[in-house]
């Protein structure tokens, strides 16, 4: 299977598509390694994961370049956010591996019917062989969010990276080996859309975590249901950002930019519906346009680049670009939308870069694009574009703004910009979303649980809540007295 660089359209590698035989071999390897890995103390597992975090930081430069070439993401993002964020995840769960939230708890049971000194305790036990299917927009980070907590809990893991971005997963596997991870504890299988179902339907895979589109997530849940395996789904979104009249406008503009232009808009939690109070909409829009015009679109490996290239699938090099452009062109024809910035693609002479251009005649580049929208039911406002396209909307009433913000089948992210903290907390409570940001957007530290409501999926990654996804609870009741059988004749 060919692997293409989104910045140039050139082939950068060829990867093998895993067959059922390969999947079965990976599962067998993981099964063989799991008992010994689970038998280690949490502290012993944690030391290996912490060592992996150190090594990921040491390999940051190499991993960042791989990620930028493979995914088209600016190296300024991969080097300082994505790779380091992955290291943070291994470090966090390495430290958590021996914590009580992983090892269980003890409870007195004075009213259970037995002796007053009787008690019970819980054991958090690993599930066994687990699997993950990753996304192409945050390859290292998405993988780390799944692999680190699973390994910390004593599971073994099989990871399938996106067919669009397979390279960094293979490098992370090498790093984990160098960190001391035993053979078979972590396996990578590379493949296309036929490979994932082999994992989601495999009888010996006990848990699967998926990050990707809602449509694919639904198919995976159906596959997993036949074997009753646990699943975590982190899916799509069409998130809102509410900017109130008392907000710091410069901060609000920064939040809107971070939630739309980062990673070329290819982020599931992005706030692509920006609702701005009528009284400040003019000033907000002016500042937003002025700052966005300064962004450099170009070579992802250039540290001065702000907006890189759109992803390039191996089976249809312009497929995602065409999809994003399709939304833009239809929005231009919709009288409820007014284009105020961008709306174009860029391909210029190979090897040349300018402030508004791309690199290579076949590179996939889209300008950051802003539409003023007057109809919440238009396609652009309703559907997930997954590109650098912002819908700018106006509101006057708080309750109406929250109602409009919640009018979506998704619920992955939501944000509010205001200096009134009472209002901020009131709105945070009303948002139908798994993640809410107040006076910022899209920050996802390892300590913070991340997941969605509705069609954005279920289950949580990161934070102590992630432990629930990778363990099963065993309760043990300990009787300290005699068995009470008075209900039966002696």
Cα 8 to its chain centre, rounded Å, is 26
What residues have CB less than 8 Å from 135, skipping those under 6 apart?
142, 162, 211, 212, 268
Q: What is the pLDDT of residue 72?
A: 95
- pLDDT of the chain along its 490 residues, tens only? 899 999 988 899 999 999 999 999 999 999 999 999 999 999 999 999 999 999 999 999 999 999 999 999 999 999 999 999 999 999 999 999 988 678 788 998 876 666 778 899 999 999 999 999 999 999 999 999 999 999 999 999 999 999 999 999 999 999 999 999 999 999 999 999 999 999 999 999 999 999 999 999 999 999 999 999 999 999 999 999 999 999 999 999 999 999 999 999 999 999 999 999 999 999 999 999 999 999 999 899 999 999 999 999 988 888 999 999 999 999 999 999 999 999 988 653 443 433 333 334 457 899 999 999 999 999 999 999 999 999 999 999 999 999 999 999 999 999 999 999 999 999 999 999 999 999 999 999 999 999 999 999 999 999 999 999 999 999 999 988 888 888 899 8
**Contact by Cβ (8 Å): 90, 135:** no
Report the alpha-carbon distance of residue 98 to residue 462 in Å, rounded.
16
Rg (CA), the chain: 24
**Contact by Cβ (8 Å): 30, 208:** no
**Contact by Cβ (8 Å): 64, 75:** yes
Q: What is the pLDDT of residue 114?
A: 63
Report the alpha-carbon distance of residue 377 to residue 147 in Å, rounded.
39
Cα 345 to its chain centre, rounded Å, is 26
Report the alpha-carbon distance of residue 8 to residue 363 in Å, rounded.
4
What separation in angstroms does the CA of 279 have from each of 67, 73, 247, 376?
42, 36, 11, 19
Q: What is the pLDDT of residue 481?
A: 86
Q: What is the pLDDT of residue 9?
A: 86
The three-class DSSP label of residue 54 is helix
Is 234 annotated as catalytic? yes
What separation in angstroms does the CA of 169 have from each of 162, 268, 322?
9, 20, 27
Report the run of H or E that residue 321 belongs to, with start and end. Answer: helix 319-333
Q: What is the pLDDT of residue 111?
A: 67
pTM value? 0.95
* Catalytic pick among 77, 91, 163, 234: 234
The three-class DSSP label of residue 457 is strand
Written as one string, the DSSP assignment of 163-195 is: TT--HHHHHHHHHHHHTTPPTTSEEE----TTT
Q: What is the pLDDT of residue 102?
A: 80
Report the alpha-carbon distance of residue 266 to residue 252 in Å, rounded.
20
The three-class DSSP label of residue 137 is coil
**Contact by Cβ (8 Å): 120, 107:** yes
What separation in angstroms does the CA of 339 have from each of 23, 262, 291, 344, 369?
48, 20, 17, 11, 8
Written as one string, the DSSP assignment of 228-272 is: T-EEEEE-----EEEE-TTS-HHHHHHHHHHTTTGGGG--TT---
Written as one string, the DSSP assignment of 55-101 is: HHHHTHHHHHHHHHHHH---HHHIIIIIHHHHHHHHHHHHHHTTSHH
Report the alpha-carbon distance of residue 141 to residue 446 in Å, rounded.
10
């Amino acid at each position: 299977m060919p692997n293409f660089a989104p910045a140039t359209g050139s082939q950068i590698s060829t990867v093998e598509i895993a067959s059922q035989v390969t999947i079965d071999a990976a599962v067998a390897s993981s099964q063989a390694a799991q008992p010994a890995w689970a038998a280690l103390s949490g502290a012993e597992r944690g030391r290996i994961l912490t060592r992996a975090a150190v090594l990921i930081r040491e390999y940051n430069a190499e991993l960042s370049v791989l990620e930028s070439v493979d995914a088209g993401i600016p190296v300024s993002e991969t080097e300082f956010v994505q790779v380091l964020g992955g290291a943070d995840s291994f470090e966090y769960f390495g430290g958590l591996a021996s914590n009580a939230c992983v090892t269980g708890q003890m409870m007195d049971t004075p009213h259970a019917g037995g002796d007053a000194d009787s008690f019970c305790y819980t054991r958090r036990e690993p599930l066994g062989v687990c699997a993950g299917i990753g996304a192409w927009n945050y390859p290292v980070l998405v993988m780390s969010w799944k692999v680190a907590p699973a390994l910390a809990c004593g599971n073994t893991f099989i990871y399938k990276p996106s067919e669009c971005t397979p390279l960094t997963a293979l490098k992370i596997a090498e790093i984990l080996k160098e960190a001391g991870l035993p053979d078979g504890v972590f396996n990578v299988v590379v493949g296309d859309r036929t490979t994932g179902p082999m994992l989601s339907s495999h009888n010996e895979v006990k848990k699967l975590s998926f990050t990707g589109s809602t449509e694919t997530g639904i198919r995976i849940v159906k596959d997993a249901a036949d074997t009753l395996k646990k699943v975590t789904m982190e899916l799509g979104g069409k998130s809102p950002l509410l900017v109130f009249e008392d907000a710091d406008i410069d901060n609000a503009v920064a939040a809107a930019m971070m939630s739309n232009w980062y990673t070329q808009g290819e982020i599931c939690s992005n706030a692509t519906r920006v609702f701005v109070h009528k009284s400040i909409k003019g000033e907000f829009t002016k500042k937003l346009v002025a700052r966005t015009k300064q962004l450099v679109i170009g070579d992802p490996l250039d540290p001065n680049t702000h907006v890189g290239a759109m992803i390039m699938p191996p089976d249809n090099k312009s497929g995602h670009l065409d999809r994003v452009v399709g939304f833009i062109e239809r929005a231009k024809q919709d009288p409820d939308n007014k284009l105020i910035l961008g709306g174009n693609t860029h391909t210029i002479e190979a090897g040349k870069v300018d402030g508004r251009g791309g690199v290579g005649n076949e590179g996939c580049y889209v300008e950051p694009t802003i539409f003023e929208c007057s109809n919440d039911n238009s396609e652009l406002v309703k559907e997930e574009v997954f590109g650098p396209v912002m819908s700018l909307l106006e509101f006057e009433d708080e309750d109406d703004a929250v109602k409009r913000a919640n009018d979506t089948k998704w619920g992955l992210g939501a944000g509010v910009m205001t200096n009134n903290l009472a209002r901020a907390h009131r709105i945070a409570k009303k948002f139908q979303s798994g993640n809410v940001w107040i006076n910022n957007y899209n920050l996802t530290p390892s300590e913070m649980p991340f997941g969605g409501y509705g069609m954005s999926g279920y289950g949580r990654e990161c934070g102590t809540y992630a432990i629930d996804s990778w363990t099963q609870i065993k309760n043990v009741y300990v009787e300290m007295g005699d068995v009470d059988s008075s209900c039966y004749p002696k």
